[in-house]
Amino acid sequence: MIIGLTGANASGKGEAASYLKSKGFEYYSLSDILREEAGRRKIEPLRENLIKLGNELRMEKGASVLADFTVKKIKDKKDCVVDSIRNPFEIKALKKLKGFTLIGIEAPIVIRFKRTMERKRPGDPETIEDFIEKERKENTQSSTNQQLENCLKSADILIANNSRLEDFHKKIDETIAKIQKT
């Protein structure tokens, strides 16, 4: 089974990926491809720089470029989780993999902003207004840019991450069990 994760910033994609890794899933991140490329180009791996680099790569090599690299890496593997899916063309490329299911992680904006403040990553917004504005910019309709809302709409299954961590993990377990039955 190959699980893809999509959702807005700080919705819980990373937590879901970590939890699945603890269950034996092999981890892949489209953002890791960007970080590696940023390193090769001597670009500081801040969120805004990675977004710009991702958009450039999509323009140069096609909208599904990050997923295309990942598909090659996991083609015949089992029990993988793919994090950081942010463009519908990435979904289309990943759906070519046998057993691929896209899970969308949702959480209210106030909770997501609070998580952002707690994790304190470089380049994260400091006010909720800035957080909302950054999110708006990340939801363009250009095929070579991020389209987080459209990716979430394309999810096969949605999981709400709006309460305790234990509840979120239980929802993930239930979702995996449901996928295994199909």
Nearest-angstrom CA–CA distance, 182 and 178:
7
Three-state secondary structure call for residue 107? coil
User: 62, 89 in Cβ contact below 8 A?
Assistant: yes
Cβ neighbourhood burial of 75 (10 Å; 0-12, 13-18, 19+): exposed
**Strands (DSSP E) along the chain, which ranges?**
2-7, 26-29, 80-83, 100-106, 157-160
**Measuring CA to CA, how many Å separate 84 from each of 41, 88, 108, 126, 164?**
21, 12, 18, 22, 22
pLDDT of residue 180: 92
Mean pLDDT by 10 residues, the chain (182 residues): 94 96 96 92 90 90 93 90 93 94 96 91 86 83 77 96 96 96 84
> What is the domain partition of the chain in residue ranges?
2-181
Nearest-angstrom CA–CA distance, 54 and 43:
12
pLDDT of residue 137: 77
User: 140, 59 in Cβ contact below 8 A?
Assistant: no
pLDDT in tens, 18-37: 999 999 999 999 989 999 99
Model-level pTM? Answer: 0.89
Q: Which is the CATH superfamily of the domain at 2-181?
A: P-loop containing nucleotide triphosphate hydrolases (3.40.50.300)
